[in-house]
Structure 1
Amino acid sequence: MNLTYLVRRPIGDTTHRPPLLILLHGLGSNEEDLFALAPHFDERFLVLSLRAPFEMAPGYYRWFDRSETPSGRVIDQQELEASRKMLIQEINNAAMAFGADPRQVYLMGFSQGAMMALALALTAPQKLRGVVAVAGRVLPEIARLAAPQDSLSHLRLLIQHGTQDDVVPVSEGYAARELFADLHVMMGFREYPTGHNITPDMLADACDFLRAQLDPAQSVESLH
């Protein structure tokens, strides 16, 4: 593994290659943030919480830099692309290092981490089985690089957003929903009366969604 990480190994039967759940934190956080949620996820998952590669200050990291200008938001596209490629490589590394199943890889990201998760869903869908994106957006810089539509048909997405989010407005969640709906990706969208955070209800819905993906009979039902 090239990125710093925390790991929770699957609990119980380890005779088979476990499904892999990768957690991606938000701007200015680190690998410890979402790892606090690890005990809540299905015990069958190998859970990896990754630290973003770019340091802002000791203990604070980002996937990409962004700034606000008079003409709008500007993304550091070099950092964005570097992080995207690193995540693809870390999926490969995790399968080798931990014996995870490369056909059962899931991402759960919050805020900037959700943007990275959606970026991989769009541009490297062959690496993923599903995504939970909380309080994120689809970056225009990534949407232009989207893979062919038919290569996304196997994906399962859950997009979650707070209606009172004043950091990433819920309108960004609606836009992501519309984009993936146009691509005919199997997707659930849920909004919550909260701000820019992960509430217990959001976590419970995410856990239910991820658990259902491991049980094919429940997979589609979990999106409704």
Structure 2
Amino acid sequence: MPLPTVEQETGAQPTHAIIWLHGLGADGNDFAPIVPELVDDAWPALRFVFPHAPVRPVTVNNGIPMRAWYDIKGLALADKQDAEGIRASVGEVEALIAREIERGIPASRIVLAGFSQGGAIALAAGLRHTATLAGIVALSTYVPMHETVEAERHGANHETPIFWGHGTADPIVPIALGTLSRDTLVALGHQVDWHTYPMGHQVSLQEIADLRVWLGKRLTNG
């Protein structure tokens, strides 16, 4: 059973989909308001799918249950990673992709997007997916389980374009971690369109504008 979702369609009978994963402690409603700012009238009809992450205890937040794609066990995000939780959420994303395919949208017209924790899962799922996706959007995030990416990534998405936006003053996911993750993927031959912005752990209007241009190229070519 796929996760519960908030959905928006920009036109009848959507031909493309964007599955967008929220950050820690938020839910599927978090990014729904950006749709009008992001969408271009010239694009084909889109279905935006904003899933709600499962509720689970989060160690760094004193074990308080909240919506999270995986547990965070320490302040250094790349340390003591919750591989089991990450893999479970990758499975949830696979189920969401499968549902879009069942509804008539092929993988080649599906973009995976996410912010922070959601971006980490978008990267983990997208790089491992066995059919070519339209693109991956990674906002204020990092590559989880980076030591297994080379072995586990699938050839279908070696050339899938990646949009990456990161704040230069991000106190939650330091830009150094984002840069390290970017460099890891570039060294493996992935196409990363890297953008930085003078902001913290957030999304900016300029970032949305840049993403709109990038998405336009992905959505009008397939």
- How high is the TM-score relative to the length of structure 1? 0.84
For residue 122 of structure 1, what is the aligned residue in structure 2? 127
Of the three residues 82, 90, 110, the one matched with 2:88 is 82
Question: Secondary structure of the equivalent of 1:75?
Answer: coil
Are the equivalent residues in 2 in contact too, given 1:63–1:112 (CA < 8 A)?
yes
CA RMSD of superposed structures (Å): 2.4
Are the equivalent residues in 2 in contact too, given 1:66–1:75 (CA < 8 A)?
yes
Q: Which amino acid aligns with 1:182?
A: A
* Alpha-carbon distance in structure 2 between the residues aligned to 1:130 and 1:20: 11
Deviations 1:124-150 (A, max 9, x none): 2525221110010011365265325x4
For residue 164 of structure 1, what is the aligned residue in structure 2? 169
For residue 222 of structure 1, what is the aligned residue in structure 2? none
Matched, 1:53 2:69: no
Are the equivalent residues in 2 in contact too, given 1:54–1:64 (CA < 8 A)?
no
Are the equivalent residues in 1 in contact too, given 2:17–2:48 (CA < 8 A)?
yes
Report how many residues are paired: 210
User: Mean Cα displacement is larger for which, 83-92 or 72-81?
Assistant: 72-81
For residue 60 of structure 2, what is the aligned residue in structure 1? none
Deviations 1:96-119 (A, max 9, x none): 2x4323321101100000100110
**1:37: Cα distance to partner?**
1.4
Are the equivalent residues in 1 in contact too, given 2:54–2:69 (CA < 8 A)?
yes
User: Mean Cα displacement is larger for which, 118-127 or 128-137?
Assistant: 118-127
Identity %: 25
Are the equivalent residues in 2 in contact too, given 1:88–1:127 (CA < 8 A)?
no
- How high is the TM-score relative to the length of structure 2? 0.85
* Alpha-carbon distance in structure 2 between the residues aligned to 1:186 and 1:156: 5
Of the three residues 28, 31, 35, the one matched with 1:34 is 31
Matched, 1:20 2:11: no
Q: 1:130 to 1:27 in 2, by over 3 A?
A: same
Stretches of structure 1 that go unaligned for 5 or more consecutive residues are 220-224
For residue 195 of structure 2, what is the aligned residue in structure 1? 190
Equivalent residues in 2 for 1:128-143, closer than 5 Å: 128-140=133-145, 142-143=148-149
Stretches of structure 2 that go unaligned for 5 or more consecutive residues are 58-63
* Alpha-carbon distance in structure 2 between the residues aligned to 1:183 and 1:45: 31
Are the equivalent residues in 2 in contact too, given 1:129–1:154 (CA < 8 A)?
no
Question: Secondary structure of the equivalent of 1:206?
Answer: helix
